[in-house]
Amino acid sequence: MQALPPLKFDSNGLIPAIVQDAETDEVLMLAYMNQESLQLSLQHGETYFWSRSRSGLWHKGATSGNVQRIVEISIDCDADTLLIRVDPAGPACHTGNRTCFYRELRA
């Protein structure tokens, strides 16, 4: 296990991670990491998350093949959010859309 800079995980032990395409700068998704998924991400250079709905570790792309190779991880000023720039092997969204943010909110 590698040493990490102090990060603020929430009361459930999670930190939100914004995933952005490193080439197009498109925001792809928001997911959550716990300490273990962050360590796995750093170790393997691909994104691992904690699935809140399935209560389990989730290697993004393990089933679909659409892994996300990590290019860079940044921390925000409060150290309670991560920004992960990736090189995605395919669509980020389970709907097949390139990004999960494919719907516009209309007031």
Q: Which residues make up the interface to a second copy (CB under 8 A)?
A: 2, 4-5, 16, 18, 20, 24-27, 29-30, 42, 72-78, 81-83, 93-95, 97, 100-107
Shortest CB 63 distance to a second copy, Å = 16
Q: How many CA atoms lie within 13 A of 46 on its CB side?
A: 12
- Is 89 or 100 the residue whose CB approaches a second copy more closely? 100
Shortest CB 48 distance to a second copy, Å = 14
- Is 57 or 101 the residue whose CB approaches a second copy more closely? 101
DSSP 19-84: EEETTT--EEEEEEE-HHHHHHHHHHSB-EEEETTTTEEEETTTTTS--EEEEEEEE-TTSS-EEE
Shortest CB 93 distance to a second copy, Å = 5
